[in-house]
Amino acid sequence: MYNSKELRVFGGNANRPLASDICSYLDIELAPIEIRHFSDGETFVKIKDNVRGMDCFVVQPTSSDVNSNLMELLIIIDALKRASAGRITAVIPYYGYARQDRKDQPRVPITAKLVADLLTAAGAQRIITMDLHVDQIQGYFNIPVDHLYAAPVFIDNYLSKIDFDLMVSPDTGGVARTRAIAKRMKKSIVIIDKRRHSPNHSEVLNIIGDVKDKSLVIYDDILDTCGTVINSSDALLAAGAKAVRVVGVHGVLSKNAFEKLDASNILEIAITNSIEQKKSSRKLKVFNVSSLIGEAILRIHTNTSVSSLFV
């Protein structure tokens, strides 16, 4: 048992349904907050409850519109700090700008590090996030980061209920991520060697592994325009695969991704609700991660181990 009177969970506008589901898991009410915008686009926030000395968690993925949602998160954190909150934890299921994680060209920023600095400067004292694009982003923070993984949610609710032969990493960078979940499913992996010509545009060069007459699951962290997974699926089917499903943690699904997925040869697409979906697809399955995040919040609040969730 814990003292829920000392716990407050706030939801920004980026994914209010997820924040509500987390509160349902914790058996508390979503904390009252006023968020509105002036005519010039400036964001105004007012905390509508006493938070002095309270353990406060702000649920706000920095998904599209990423800049507005990030700014809203920073302002909520600042408002809580100025209201004398005891501890402020930013719960960021999807960490925007994570793909700008290194200086791979001359004169470009490391925006993932900049966002980490902004969150810390605003007053965040802890971060909860899920399936970062690269693990080293944890090192961009000088405050504790609890990095959760959606793999248990997919295994329990989807992968254990379907029949498939192999898991596929859509690129060499995702091999460790795919191997980790394939090991738990007692499956082997296939690797796709691809060349990225520009952001959101890639070409399959080679398939490492035998996929003939096999049912496959492509596992990725971010599904954005979906060009990569669609090209990968086409290449796998051309190599003799029997069926291809896609599991992606964060459904960014920008531009015409829904239309492209519906027209593709992909059998099903499974994602989490780390990002709120305003559209739907006949192929799309969305799995709720509120219990995973809610349990992390509960363990942090009660100062018990969170490590068993890092699987």
Task: Give the HSE-up count for residue 226: Cα atoms under 13 Å, Cβ half-sphere.
Answer: 30
- Supply the DSSP symbol for 27: T
**Annotation says 194 is catalytic:** yes
- Supply the DSSP symbol for 29: P
**Whether 12 contacts 73, CB under 8 Å:** yes
- Three-class DSSP category at 87: strand
Of 199, 259, 266, 256, which is closest to residue 229 (Cα–Cα)?
266
- Supply the DSSP symbol for 32: P
Of 175, 172, 102, 173, which is closest to residue 139 (Cα–Cα)?
102
Phi, psi of 236 (to 5 degrees): -65, -45
Of 116, 9, 155, 298, which is closest to residue 18 (Cα–Cα)?
9
Instruction: Please pick, among 5, 161, 187, 194, the residue that the annotation labels catalytic.
Output: 194
Beta bridge partners of 206: 193
* Cα-only R_g, the chain: 20
- The catalytic residues are 194
